[in-house]
Amino acid sequence: MNILVTGGAGFIGSHVTDALLDQGHTVHVLDDLSTGREANVAAAAPLHQFDIRSDQASALMEREAFDVLVHHAAQMDVRASVADPSFDADVNVRGFLNLAEAGRKNGLKKIIFASTGGAIYGEPDYTPQDEEHPVRPLSPYGITKLCTEKYLYFYQQQYGLEYVALRYANVYGPRQNPHGEAGVVAIFTQRMLKGDQPIINGDGKQTRDYVYVGDVVRANLAALDYDGSGVFNVGTGVETDVNELFQTIRDLTGADIPEEHGEAKPGEQQRSVLGYATSEQELGWTPQVDVSEGLARTVDWFEQKDVRADA
């Protein structure tokens, strides 16, 4: 198939691109490199450095007549979305519509969308949170992800354009950017390897569901093969609090760094954990890498990356 991966120079998108190429697909990458890195993009995938809102992006959709759009490009900083909701909506909603409109006019058959679990569900009424859990996004970022899911349903109903929305838990692994707002695993790992002090927000008892990027890639491949449309959680069903995360990464890096706590972030969600029973039943997907193994792989990658950087 001929596939466009937006955000394909980023953390998750570049791994998905690699896997699609390995399967023999023709893959193009659309990324404005605002957070992605050109070095992440495989040589076999042409890189188009456009904003998803641009005329160039819609022209690319028209020219290449892609079969599938794998949409990972986004304004993903939750705090930035709160500070500037209009910009968040412009990128995440208008940008998506720019691609979707061009795609449906030019033979696009399917959209695989990187949605979000925790930011859509909010604090859990029950755990693990399944796809039937009430949706109560508390940030413009979460709102735009939910809004895009509703647009996907519209395009499926109106034009027969199939879709799979994957509601990710907290994704971590090699290539994650340690400089952004997201990615506590990458932030803690890099700081510990450098001998710097990471700061735990608040008491550190807030929990998240950490899912390894390799498992997320497999979910995208399963979505590509799925015959139908729907919304699916991509998580592990396991909660890990920040204190546990800190201690595990400290052990893996061998850092002699004390546990230090700072001020809690106002309004920070306290718990998030996603059930994957529907993904198992419909997509044949289950997580394979537990958090201890995934963290070991991630720390090893960051260690090797630092060695290369120093060479």
**Which CATH number does the domain housing residue 189 bear?**
3.90.25.10
Residues 88-96, mean pLDDT to the nearest whole number: 97
Whether residue 82 is predicted with pLDDT greater than 70 in this model: the reply is: yes
Segment 20-29 mean pLDDT:
98
What is the CATH number for 94?
3.40.50.720
Give percent above pLDDT 70 in the chain.
Answer: 97
Helix (H) / strand (E) element for 145: namely helix 140-159
Total structural domains in the chain? 2
Express each pLDDT in 251-266 by its tens digit. Answer: 999 999 999 999 998 8
User: Is 218 strand, coil or helix?
Assistant: helix
CA distance 153 to 144: 14
Establish if 278 belongs to a structural domain.
Answer: no
| Whole-angstrom distance, CA of residue 170 vs CA of residue 186 | 12
- Token pair, residue 261, equals 């706590």
Same domain, residue pair 61 and 105: yes
Within 10 angstroms of residue 304's Cβ, the number of other Cβ atoms is 11
What is 62-118 written as a DSSP string? HHH--SEEEE------HHHHHH-HHHHHIIIIIHHHHHHHHHHTTT--EEEEEEESH
Q: Once rounded to an integer, what is the mean pLDDT over residues 234-260?
A: 97
The 10 Å Cβ neighbour count of residue 106 is 14
Residues 297 and 197 in one domain: yes
Is the pLDDT at 30 greater than 90, yes or no?
Answer: yes
| Residue 190, domain extent | 173-208+238-273+288-310
Ramachandran class of 175: left when φ > 0, alpha when ψ lies in -120 to 50, beta otherwise: left
pLDDT at residue 308 is higher than 50:
no
Positions annotated as catalytic residues are: 141
Residue 280 lies in a domain: no
Same-domain pairing of 116 and 204: no
Same domain, 229 and 150: yes
Global pTM value: 0.95
**Using one digit for the tens of pLDDT, what is the confidence trace for 177-193?**
887 656 899 999 999 99
Number of CB atoms found within 10 A of residue 33's CB = 14
